[in-house]
Structure 1
Amino acid sequence: QKQKLRSRAASEVTTEDWSIIENPKLNHHQEAAQPFVGYDKTQTEVKITQIRKVDSKKDGILYQIVLNTTPFYPEGGGQVGDKGTLKPLKLSEGGDLQTEIIEIIDTKKENNLIIHFAKSLPKDLNQTFIAQVNTDLRTSTSKNHTATHLMHLALRNILGTHVEQKGSLVNPNYLRFDFSHFSKVTEEELRQVEASVNNQINAQLQLQEYRNIPIKEALEKGAMALFGEKYGDNVRMIQFGNSRELCGGIHVKNTADIWHFKIISESA
């Protein structure tokens, strides 16, 4: 019972209502026009439209920030959210750039809002900012995300087309790929999967991206739709050679950018 109470206390979260900054007609029941530009840009000029304060026993006080547009990828499809900075386009009088830069420590999606997490807020919420993604982390994450697609294809080719992706975790340091199979994968099969992925890397396969195409067309092209995922009428398809998947994530431009792939553990 004491452990339950401690666990409950640790998970207590107080979330304030949204404060509207840019558009007084907008409230939290309405969806902001908030285009994601992160497929093409890692930095762009932005304005803050909404903020709210969240206080939790686990993380302390955090601020959630909504922008009118964003290059930050929100956590989804197994891929972690982008980190980076919000930097004032112009310094305030007597201002210090280092103290006015806001660190974005995570990005998530809530309904159709992309929410940026920070430990502090800018002094002037109405100014224009440069939203800058941490490109080192983004690049490392994109390599691992593309590698999950290549491994998915390799697993289906080597173990059989019954293999289905059941989940994944993609971050800058490593990837985890969850899949269905009726027996333990042998050492030889793992070696073949690893070799297949590295062959696709060495083949220098160029990214082919199809944005906003009808889902029927994507499936006709051979795209794999993940079981349990909900897709709209129009989708984004990512292709590297024979790997075709419906995916909203960030990827490398060429498989050669991954350099090398190594399986370090397998478990059931």
Structure 2
Amino acid sequence: MKKVIQILLVSLLVLTFTSCSSDDNGNQPDTSVVLLKKMESDVMGNHGVYNFSYSGRKLTKVNYEIHTPGIQTGYDKYFYTGELITEIKTFNGSNQNTFSTVFTYNANNQLEQVVKLNLQNSTATKMVFTYNSNGTVDALNYTGTLESQTTLTAVSEKYFIENNDIVRIEFTGSISQTAMDFEYDAANNPMRNVTGMDKIKLHTYDSDGRYGITKNLKKVTTYFATVQSSQVDFELVYDENNYPLTRYSSETSPGPFSYNFEYYK
């Protein structure tokens, strides 16, 4: 079960490099707001270090080094169209572009589709979101080639959102988990001032603690199809601006999970 929890809480996806430039030299963060500079994570024995670069409030690059226990290095570049993140390109330590994640939006600037291209084996996945009148969001998953993703998979999701935060996800067709519940504090999330990040929350909810909307996770409960549910409770230490400095799982929770945050001054 620990392996399942690790997979759920250690996910991917980041990137949004500024408009049309591929060189971040000279770009500076907007120091009039709080922006995340560095995060260190320890997730069930796997150590990660992430360094964040910005142009103003737009995220341009995230460098990472992950010990699993082997060392994996690389970086994500973020691309924007206006105020919206439209692509994230992932590079390995040899500067090879291994993945590209493309975001499209509807007329209301809501995330409509996420296509992840695996450039190493020429395959791709696609998530398509439908916004319901009751505030929930349905997601269908497709697989295919780099050019077309038309094969519908058995697994689908329904997202429940309150106050701009995902509070529950229900999975249909999954052979492992059936639902996840999320509870938050009332403080500031490290990524709350990053342009466009709130628009892709349906994609980043499980991204190793790096991303959020306005607040921070205090509890995650995962419900499984064949075993009892698993609950992870987090404790947090905040700075004078009510941003987290550390977030770690309680002694009674599965894990351990811990995150340390450093901000631009």
Q: Per the shorter chain, which TM-score range?
A: under 0.3
Bigger helix share: 1
Rg (Cα) greater in structure: 1
Name the TM-score, length of structure 2 as normaliser.
0.25
Name the TM-score, length of structure 1 as normaliser.
0.25
Q: Which structure has more RCO (C-alpha within 8 Å, separation ≥ 6)? A: 2
Bigger strand share: 2
